[in-house]
Amino acid sequence: MAKKRRNSSNLSLTPKQKQAALVLAICALVLIVTIVAVVIIVNTSHKSKDTSSGSTSSSQAVLDSGFDANAYGDTVLGETDDAGQSYIDETIFVGDSNTYRYYQNGLLSLDQVMAVEGLGIQQLTTDKSIYFKNDSTAYSIPEALAKMKPRRIIVMMGTNNADGSMSADSFASSYESALNEIVTAYPYCDVIVAAVPPIPEDHSNYPNMSQETINEFNLALVKMCQKNGYKFLNISELLMGENGYGQDRYYQQGDIHLKKDALNGIMDYARTHAWTGTEDRRPDTDNIPTRVRNGGTSGNSNQATATPDPNETFTAQYNVDKNVGGTLTSGDISGKTTLKFEDLTKNDSVTVKAVAADGYEFVKWSDGNTSPTRTDKNFKQNVNVTAMFSAKLSISFQEGSSATIKEGEGYTLHINAVGGNVTDDNVQWTVNGEKVKTGYSYGQSSWKAGTYDITASINVNGKLSSATFKLVVEAAPTPAPTAAPTPKPTPVPTAAPTPKPTPTPTPKPTPEPTAEPTPQPTAEPTPEPTEAPVSPSEPTEGGEG
């Protein structure tokens, strides 16, 4: 009976056990549902990725090909206080169709936009599509910037080059050349390079575009900026999503062009990642022309043509940049750094010549005119231009012009340059006509005998200068053959010296013996007769003994 009760107790559950079993069953059911849901989501995700323009592996490749902004110091603009609307107002935005959309979307006036749709970096300096009111001349972007006199420019180029037709190195080199031409045309503005904007993962309308290429472009650009002293505006961190592509909300489906929200975001980002604290180097901000979309005297069809007042007069003022490098001459007036002509009408003309001082050369006028002598006439507006001079570019060697050394010795040359900044890349060294390296110096630790013409050439913004150093390396003298040493003759053993015979001493003559004197004979005393001894038996006189 006891055993039977034990079996019965094993089969029955207490209320608490039943409750626990119910909870366990519910948990198991929830776990099963969760697993099924995860499997469905994962499968759906895989299908979605299979049908998209990029795969998981390509997304990872995009993420892995970015660059570390912290590795480039202050070249990459960091977060700042809001620089305000005035910061944007003093800025001209330069670029392609994405930049042109600032104007199309009513975010900026045409005066603040220097952009051409479809423009590639190779055409930035040669395409002449910029026009001004009452001026039928078509200008390139560098020429137009010289007339607009901006405080700073933000350049955003490269989308049209990201189709695989250009390597990152070629792109950065073309970009650098374009910026050099802009700086040459108007050297008074700060230059900020915006990152090539990312493209969305769905860019099916532009299938040849590559986000990996854009990442490579941006890495090359930030290095170029660091080299040249420009700043890099890393708008990628604003526009890019976690998958390494542009966020979909900033683009039309399948498109690569930025929406209005993205452009607003870029301007806000520029204000809070501002390049502040720089000097306003502009000589003047007067007489800036008005931009129009198309050529012609009246601008576009939306602008009314002004009827000139026949009695209107104008002022023409000519300046020397910072009063350095030269002077101005007009007629009998010479040696001036400022000339001002007032009350000019459309019938007047003014001729002014910029005269470079010793050691300087004329570069251009601030409106792009490259002739030192200019004549302004048919005045329709005031003129205010500045003559720009620069020190003549020259290069020399710190060590002089020649030297003579011995073979095997070391010798290194160092350059001095005037009129341009020397970098590791803009000085080319050649030895006897063959290129050997670039950089500030050139030398060898051990020169071979010969005569070397060593030339250093510098190129700064298209200006060239070179100098040649003659190094004579004298051959080391051929050492005279060392004569075989003459063997020393084996010394003849020194014969034992023949002993000199000891001279027989000359015997001293034996002195004649001195004759002993014959002693006088001594007369012997006659002995007294000795008494006969007493016989012992006889007692002696004197008693007993």
Query: Taking the alpha carbons of 529, 533, 539, 542 in that order, is the dihedral positive or negative?
Result: positive
pLDDT exceeds 70 at position 212? yes
Is residue 42 domain-resident?
A: no
Average pLDDT over residues 84-100: 96
Q: List all residues 6 or more positions away from 290 whose beta carbon is below 8 Å from its beta carbon.
A: 111, 132, 133, 299
Q: How many other C-beta atoms are found inside a 10 Å radius of the C-beta of residue 461?
A: 16
Question: Do 386 and 415 belong together in one domain?
Answer: no
**300 close to 283: Cβ distance less than 8 angstroms:** no
**Which is it for strands 411-418 and 394-397: parallel, antiparallel or unpaired?**
antiparallel
Average pLDDT over residues 64-88: 86
Last residue of a domain, one of 391, 411, 426: 391
**420 close to 461: Cβ distance less than 8 angstroms:** yes
Is residue 520 domain-resident?
A: no
Is residue 413 domain-resident?
A: yes
pLDDT exceeds 60 at position 135? yes
Question: Do 162 and 249 belong together in one domain?
Answer: yes
| pLDDT tier for residue 463 given thresholds of 50, 70 and 90 | confident
Residue position matching structure tokens 């189709």: 163
Question: Do 319 and 338 belong together in one domain?
Answer: yes
Which one, of 133, 134, 142, 209, lies nearest residue 462 by Cα? 142
pLDDT at 320: 92
**Looking only at Cα atoms, what is the longest distance across the chain?**
214
Helix axes 97-104, 260-272, angle to 10 degrees: 100
Q: Residue 171's domain is classified under what CATH number? A: 3.40.50.1110
- The residue range of the domain holding 424 is 394-474
Q: Residue 330's domain is classified under what CATH number? A: 2.60.40
Question: Do 69 and 193 belong together in one domain?
Answer: yes
pLDDT exceeds 60 at position 11? no
Identify which has the larger pLDDT, 195 or 385. Answer: 195
Residue 175: phi and psi, rounded to 5, are: -60, -45
Average pLDDT over residues 30-35: 79
Q: Residue 410's domain is classified under what CATH number? A: 2.60.40.10
Is residue 52 domain-resident?
A: no
pLDDT exceeds 70 at position 104? yes
Question: Do 266 and 219 belong together in one domain?
Answer: yes
pLDDT at 192: 98
**116 close to 155: Cβ distance less than 8 angstroms:** no
Question: Do 247 and 376 belong together in one domain?
Answer: no
pLDDT exceeds 80 at position 297? no
Residue 235: phi and psi, rounded to 5, are: -70, -10
Q: Supply the mean pLDDT for the chain.
A: 83
Is residue 19 domain-resident?
A: no
pLDDT digits (tens, 9 = 90+) for 247-279: 999 998 999 999 999 999 999 999 999 999 999
Average pLDDT over residues 406-418: 93
List the structure tokens of 184. 């040459």
Is residue 58 domain-resident?
A: no
List the structure tokens of 207. 């299938």
Question: Do 93 and 224 belong together in one domain?
Answer: yes
Identify which has the larger pLDDT, 529 or 487. Answer: 487
Question: Do 69 and 156 belong together in one domain?
Answer: yes
Q: How many other C-beta atoms are found inside a 10 Å radius of the C-beta of residue 8?
A: 9
- The Cα 59–Cα 500 span in angstroms is 119
Segments of 293-399 assigned E as strands: 314-320, 326-330, 333-336, 338-344, 349-356, 360-365, 373-377, 383-391, 394-397
Q: Is 511 exposed, middle or buried (0-12, 13-18, 19+ CB in 10 A)?
A: exposed
pLDDT digits (tens, 9 = 90+) for 219-249: 999 999 999 999 999 999 999 999 999 999 9
Question: Do 170 and 214 belong together in one domain?
Answer: yes
- The Cα 425–Cα 440 span in angstroms is 9
Last residue of a domain, one of 391, 412, 446: 391
Last residue of a domain, one of 453, 474, 495: 474
Is residue 243 domain-resident?
A: yes
Domain count, the chain: 3
- The Cα 329–Cα 360 span in angstroms is 16
**384 close to 317: Cβ distance less than 8 angstroms:** yes
Q: List all residues 6 or more positions away from 469 whose beta carbon is below 8 Å from its beta carbon.
A: 397, 399, 400, 401, 402, 403, 413, 453, 454, 455, 456
Average pLDDT over residues 8-15: 58
pLDDT exceeds 50 at position 51? no
pLDDT digits (tens, 9 = 90+) for 332-358: 999 999 999 999 998 899 999 999 999
Q: List all residues 6 or more positions away from 189 whose beta carbon is below 8 Å from its beta carbon.
A: 145, 149, 150, 151, 152, 153, 281, 282
Is residue 51 domain-resident?
A: no
Question: Do 150 and 274 belong together in one domain?
Answer: yes
Question: Do 84 and 121 belong together in one domain?
Answer: yes
Question: Do 143 and 226 belong together in one domain?
Answer: yes
pLDDT at 122: 93
